Amino acid sequence: MRYLWRRLGHAVLVLLGVSFLTFVLAGAAPGSFVDELRLDPRVSPETIEAMRVRYGLNDTLPGQYLRWLQSIGRGEFGFSIAYNGPVAPLLWPRIRNTLLLTVPATLLSWLIALPLGTWSAGRRGGWLDRVAAGATTTLLGIPELVLGLGLLLLAVRTGYLPVGGMTSLNFEEMGRWQRVRDVIVHLVLPVTALTLVSLPILVRHVRASVGEVVRARFIQAARASGVPERRLLVRHALRTAANPLISLFGLSLAGLLSASLVIETIMSWPGLGPLLLDAVAARDLHVVVAAVSCSTVLLVAGNLLADGLLYLADPRLRPERA
Amino acid sequence: MTSRPHPAGRNYHVTLLALVVVYLAAIFAGFLAPYDPSAQSRDFAFVPPTGLHWIDMSGAVHLRPFVYQEGRPYPLRFFVRGAPYRIARLFSSQRHLLGVDAPAALFLLGTDGFGRDQLSRLLYGAQISLFAGPLGAALSVVFGLVLGGLAGFFGGWVDAIIMRAGELFLAVPWYYLLFAVRMALPLRIEPQEAFAMILAIVAVVGWARPARLIRGVVLSGRTRDYVEAARALGASDLHVLRRHVLPQAFGVALTQAALLAPQYILAEATLSFFGLGVGEPVPSWGNMLAVLQRYDVLSSYWWMFLPGGALLAVFLLYYLLADALHERVAALPG
């Protein structure tokens, strides 16, 4: 357990560092939300000065950062000037919506990548391997922006799927199951986009890791003693390759979350991405810091999960039980 | 391993040649583009690509292709006089490769909502989109070389500070970091300054990964047997650095640059797409795509997707190049 505690402590330090870094980067910027108001002739300079004092914009950056940390203690995550309220109520539904996209996309891409990569590794140079290699290279070459727009075009042309958004217009009048169905229908397009973004990297790595194990002596020995090929791949090769693959799980989340920002915004899915972009455009400092920190929390949490899995899978990390 | 070339390695030269052609097209945008990229003609909003014909309505075949304008044919002309332009800020001219006579218009890739020629905008847009990426990548890699080199060479607290800082940059999902850094710069920015702004952003965003890799190379370089042997033979620090560590580090740096360049091209496109990068009326591939956020444009005008196609092609070329470079670096002895 010492290993996991150490990882957790490390994660907390990273989070503090990232939030401070964002605060300094974003807070050092010329122009704040209040300065944008200055352009409005109906707002007097006195009002602006009063707002600056009220929102603590005249304090030093470290001072503002400490006050932001205190507001986390109160469960507020800062104060959004654009929405004129605490940040937390804005944040929770956005986090939920982002998870609603990224969790199914992660599961789906692993469900496809594991068998596909293992199979490719088992039959190097075969037709499936070549098709998979060609497809992954092509997919890797498609930027998220273009992929998202292309899928939207597909939806517009075919008319089977809704174009963007999370719910239909008459969502309020629907029964519970209809609502679930409605959200799922809206999920299809963005989840497909995210799966296609993360899939090629996973397939490549699964193929490489399993392929490396397949060449090992003990696999050859097992093959020589007549273990069937399928059992060889799944029970022996895949299991031995589990370590790098679990690490890959943690690493691949970064790309997925990152792509999610673009896909969410293009497909107007109300996740963390659009929240951040709106906040950057409105110079809403605390929302920017909170959104960036939350994306980091999701990433770090995913990595902790990977660490936990690694801990379960690899007995070498558990010296006290050995 | 055997010496059989990798599939990506075989096409290495073809890939490089294709990229060079694309970049030359961007540099000579003024000559290749029929029009000025910001010249508007309100009568031609969202005009589909102009069709080139060889056979007229009477069935006669023409050697010189022509376009129709209100039923009348206008032949395609070469080296026509048009809007003045400058190439690489060095020499100026008014000659354009292609054109047609006045009442007719040559929109080979259609026009946008302001009646601006898509082909001209695509070519001029490439000047920003295609150059911001590699320059930004070069900047990040230089940062990475310096910081990673310092960390690896000195070790101790220098190493600790640089690497902990790098960890913070790597802990944030990439696009979130990009927009957070964007927040540090003024919201409204002159299109002329946007290019420098994007360079600054991506250089800050991307230094950490190259730095980490370079540090690894430098560290391992210090402990290799052949380095120890060289030291035992009396080689100085500088000699070891120059002869044994840097060549390896440059290989890694080059591969990193090839990997980062397309990512940064996309960073510019994404920033501009969401209205936080290069602004109108200066074209970039990102802000040209931004109009697709309108439903009517998305559903009706397919030629507005062309910058996306261009982005796709350049992306693929860069990936093939990075693959080939990676193979080469991996094949290096040592």
For B301-312, letters b (16+ CB in 10 Å) and e give: bebbbbbbebbb
Q: How far is A321 from chain B, CA to nearest CA, in Å?
A: 31
The neighbour count for residue A309, using CB atoms within 10 Å, is 17
Mean pLDDT by 10 residues, chain B (334 residues): 46 84 86 81 80 76 77 78 78 78 78 83 88 89 89 85 89 88 80 81 86 86 78 79 78 84 89 85 87 81 86 87 75 53
Tokens found for residue B254: 């080059």
The neighbour count for residue A317, using CB atoms within 10 Å, is 15
- Length of chain B counted residue by residue: 334
| A146 close to B (CB below 8 A) | yes
Per-residue pLDDT of chain A in tens (322 residues, 90 and over written 9) = 777 788 888 888 988 888 888 888 877 776 667 777 777 777 777 777 777 777 777 777 788 888 888 888 888 888 888 888 888 888 899 999 999 999 999 999 999 998 888 888 877 777 888 888 888 888 888 888 999 998 988 888 887 777 777 777 777 777 788 888 888 888 889 999 999 999 988 998 888 888 888 788 888 888 888 888 778 777 777 777 888 888 888 888 888 998 999 999 998 889 899 999 988 888 888 888 899 998 998 888 888 888 888 888 877 777 654 4
| A254 close to B (CB below 8 A) | yes
| A142 close to B (CB below 8 A) | yes
**Cβ contact, residue pair A163, B298, below 8 Å:** yes
Which neighbouring-strand residues pair with B95? B81
Does some domain include residue A114?
yes
Tokens found for residue B166: 């790098």
Q: Please, are residues B92 and B27 in contact by the beta-carbon 8 Å criterion?
A: no
From the list A237, A256, A231, A219, the residue with the least C-alpha distance to A117 is A237
Alpha carbon distances (Å) from A148 to A77, A132, A193, B297: 31, 22, 6, 15
B-contacting residues in A 16-35 (Cβ below 8 Å): 17-18, 21-22, 25-26, 28-31
Q: What is the pLDDT of residue B82?
A: 77
Element (H, E) at B55: strand B53-55
**Cβ contact, residue pair B164, A262, below 8 Å:** no
**Cβ contact, residue pair A31, B266, below 8 Å:** no
Report the distance separating Cα B228 and Cα B217, nearest Å: 15
Q: How far is the first Cα of chain B from the last one, in angstroms, to the nearest whole number? A: 14
Which residues lie closer than 8 Å to B265 by C-beta, 6 or more apart?
B129, B130, B132, B133, B134, B311, B314, B315, B318
Element (H, E) at A252: helix A242-266
Tokens found for residue A86: 């605490």
Element (H, E) at A61: helix A61-73
Give the count of alpha carbons within 13 A of A135, CB side only.
17
Q: What is the pLDDT of residue B13?
A: 83
Domain of residue A117 covers 100-282
A-contacting residues in B 105-164 (Cβ below 8 Å): 164
Q: Please, are residues B248 and B185 in contact by the beta-carbon 8 Å criterion?
A: no
| A163 close to B (CB below 8 A) | yes
Does some domain include residue A33?
no
Does some domain include residue A86?
no
**Cβ contact, residue pair B292, A265, below 8 Å:** no
DSSP at A233:
I
**Cβ contact, residue pair A141, B319, below 8 Å:** yes
Chain A residue numbers with beta carbons less than 8 Å from the beta carbon of B174 are 254-255, 258
Residue with tokens 């957070």: B180
| A263 close to B (CB below 8 A) | no
Q: Please, are residues A250 and A158 in contact by the beta-carbon 8 Å criterion?
A: no
Summarize pLDDT for A234-292 with one digit per residue, the tens: 777 777 788 888 888 888 888 899 899 999 999 888 989 999 998 888 888 888 889 99
Q: What is the pLDDT of residue A40?
A: 75
From the list B161, B144, B171, B154, the residue with the least C-alpha distance to B252 is B144
Q: Please name the residue of chain B whose CA is at the shortest distance from the CA of residue A26.
A: B184
Does some domain include residue A205?
yes
**Cβ contact, residue pair B270, A141, below 8 Å:** no
CATH number of the domain encompassing residue A193 = 1.10.3720.10
Q: What is the pLDDT of residue A262?
A: 92
The neighbour count for residue B289, using CB atoms within 10 Å, is 24
Residue in B269, B286, B312 closest to A142 by CB: B312
Helix, strand or coil, per DSSP, at residue B250 = helix
DSSP at B294:
S
Does some domain include residue A239?
yes
Q: Please, are residues A110 and A118 in contact by the beta-carbon 8 Å criterion?
A: no
Q: What is the pLDDT of residue B8?
A: 45
| B298 close to A (CB below 8 A) | yes
DSSP B185-234: S-SS--HHHHHHHHHHHHHHHHSHHHHHHHHHHHHHHHH-HHHHHHHHTT
Does some domain include residue A41?
no
Report the distance separating Cα B218 and Cα B220, nearest Å: 6
A-contacting residues in B 166-205 (Cβ below 8 Å): 167-169, 171-177, 179-187
Does some domain include residue A87?
no
Number of structural domains (chain A) is 1
Tokens found for residue B311: 């982005």
Does some domain include residue A128?
yes
Tokens found for residue B98: 């292609």
* Longest pairwise C-alpha distance within chain A: 87
Q: Please, are residues A271 and B170 in contact by the beta-carbon 8 Å criterion?
A: no
Q: CA gyration radius for chain B?
A: 25
